[in-house]
Amino acid sequence: MPLRAKVATQVSRTAAALSRAAGRGDGSVIGGWIGLKIDPDLLEHLAAGRAIALVSGTNGKTTTTRLTAAALGVLGPVATNSFGANMPSGHTSALAKAGSTPYAVLEVDEHYLPQVIEETRPRVIALLNLSRDQLDRAKEVAMIAQLWRTTLAKHPEIMIVANSDDPMIVWAAGNSPTVTWFSAGQRWQDDSWVCPECGSTIERQDGQWWCTGCPLRRPQPQWVVEDDGVLDPSGAWHLVRLQLPGRVNLGNAATALAVAAAFGIRPLQAVPTLSSVASVAGRYAQVDRDGRNIRLLLAKNPASWLEAFDMADNAPTLLSINSRDPDGLDTSWLFDVDFSPLRGRQILITGERAYDLAVRLEVNDVPFRHVQTFGEAIASVPPGRLEVIANYTAFQDIRAELDRVN
Ligand SMILES: [Zn+2]
């Protein structure tokens, strides 16, 4: 590496370590930011010579990145931005910290994917799904799909691993010569009823989808979730035991196996590594307190709320909503979520925007009770499972409160 890059790497590491020592988080954003100030090409220098996989999409990228890093661990140490710092500063910090690790798996924010492709020259990119997210600042779904499609067309050398069940993803990957398709399902379909190619309606039946006006249709997937396992391209079925709940995580596991295969790792080697992942940055973590088994689920946009309802047990459930900067300031998306699956469960609500949630639940005919604190929520439910579904900063608040007590 050039001298400037070496210095920038060292300063980046030190800044991150100081930030951690000062109790200001894991330091990956500030460390990368300072490194890039010293050498704007630092990410490119740090990526050179490594075999890199990128993971992007609206939902599931942190978990899929974690599962993929576990699978690639078969080959040796893997650099990864496991705390969800998914912009170039986070990638820079992760690679600076990793030393000469030959492999990296990086979670990438959808908007930054073109830039990160140029700077890291990945071997493989996994494209998970696209749906509405943070409408006050994010691009429309079709705009992201177009951005990806244009970018990927310029990089035929990159192997794409993509979700055959999401029409926007299939279209975005459509110009790439080497695509491995996986089927991870698509519970949320309200951002893909219109064909991105021709504007006609998309029809769906029995797991298939097709455009009524042009040839765009669901490609045949090579990796498929089936029962509690995954079918590989040879037709062999592998039981996948995960500590993470829900069918959505089996889909994430199938994606990880497909990416691992692109690195020459066979499913038989990769599958056992996936069960080592118990929680991802606190998500899915279970904490016992006062006879209650509390499980934390993060949900931050309509699609991920649907997934969370599917993962959650039929048990008392606390919903918490904030609208600070990392959450997006606009809570109108609550009206895109159908909360009726919660009917019949004991529902508690809290958070800074609990009243927005209250209006939504009222309209959706779901009875609830408002609680001021997490402690009050715990005292309000019987011993046993308490599911907590929260958006980003509300989730962090509850984690902090649990950490204080435990
Ligand atoms: Zn069409």
Q: How far is CA 164 from the centre of its chain?
A: 17
Tell me the CA–centroid distance for residue 201 and ligand 1, in Å: 7
Tell me the CA–centroid distance for residue 137 and ligand 1, in Å: 28
Given this model, what pLDDT does residue 324 score?
A: 93
Tell me the CA–centroid distance for residue 153 and ligand 1, in Å: 19
State the pLDDT confidence band at 21, using cuts at 50, 70 and 90. Answer: confident
- Residues having C-beta closer than 5 Å to ion ligand 1: 195, 197-198, 200, 211, 213-214, 216
Tell me the CA–centroid distance for residue 217 and ligand 1, in Å: 8
Given this model, what pLDDT does residue 342 score?
A: 95
pTM over 0.75: yes
Token code pair at residue 195: 């064909």
Tell me the CA–centroid distance for residue 199 and ligand 1, in Å: 6
Given this model, what pLDDT does residue 224 score?
A: 97
Across the chain, mean pLDDT equals: 93
Tell me the CA–centroid distance for residue 151 and ligand 1, in Å: 21
Given this model, what pLDDT does residue 108 score?
A: 97
Tell me the CA–centroid distance for residue 146 and ligand 1, in Å: 14
The three-class DSSP label of residue 360 is helix
Tell me the CA–centroid distance for residue 171 and ligand 1, in Å: 10
Q: What are phi and psi of 106, to 5 degrees?
A: -120, 125
Report DSSP state, residue 292: E
Beta bridge partner(s), residue 349 = 319, 370
Q: Is the predicted pLDDT of residue 6 greater than 70, yes or no?
A: yes
390: Cα within 13 Å, side-chain hemisphere: 28
> Residue 351: which of 370, 368, 338, 336 has the closest Cα?
370
Given this model, what pLDDT does residue 186 score?
A: 86
| Integer Cα distance of 188 and 169 in angstroms | 13
Tell me the CA–centroid distance for residue 397 and ligand 1, in Å: 44
Given this model, what pLDDT does residue 285 score?
A: 87
Q: Is the predicted pLDDT of residue 5 greater than 80, yes or no?
A: yes
Q: Taking residues 152-176, report their average pLDDT.
A: 97
Q: Is the predicted pLDDT of residue 405 greater than 60, yes or no?
A: no
State the pLDDT confidence band at 402, using cuts at 50, 70 and 90. Answer: confident
Given this model, what pLDDT does residue 198 score?
A: 97
Given this model, what pLDDT does residue 404 score?
A: 62
Q: Taking residues 298-318, report their average pLDDT.
A: 93
Q: Is the predicted pLDDT of residue 406 greater than 70, yes or no?
A: no
Q: Taking residues 334-347, report their average pLDDT.
A: 94
Tell me the CA–centroid distance for residue 142 and ligand 1, in Å: 13
Q: Taking residues 69-92, report their average pLDDT.
A: 92
Tell me the CA–centroid distance for residue 193 and ligand 1, in Å: 10
Cα(first)–Cα(last) distance of the chain, in Å? 45
Which of residues 197 and 83 earns the better pLDDT score? Answer: 197
Mind giving me the DSSP string for 307-361?
Answer: HHHHHS-SS-EEEE---SGGG-S--GGGGGS--GGGTTS-EEEESTTHHHHHHHH
The three-class DSSP label of residue 185 is coil
| Integer Cα distance of 336 and 302 in angstroms | 6
Q: Taking residues 305-320, report their average pLDDT.
A: 94
Q: Taking residues 273-287, report their average pLDDT.
A: 89
Which of residues 138 and 304 earns the better pLDDT score? Answer: 304
> Please, what sign has the CA dihedral across residues 301, 303, 306, 312?
negative
- 246: part of which helix (H) or strand (E)? none
Tell me the CA–centroid distance for residue 211 and ligand 1, in Å: 5
Tell me the CA–centroid distance for residue 175 and ligand 1, in Å: 15
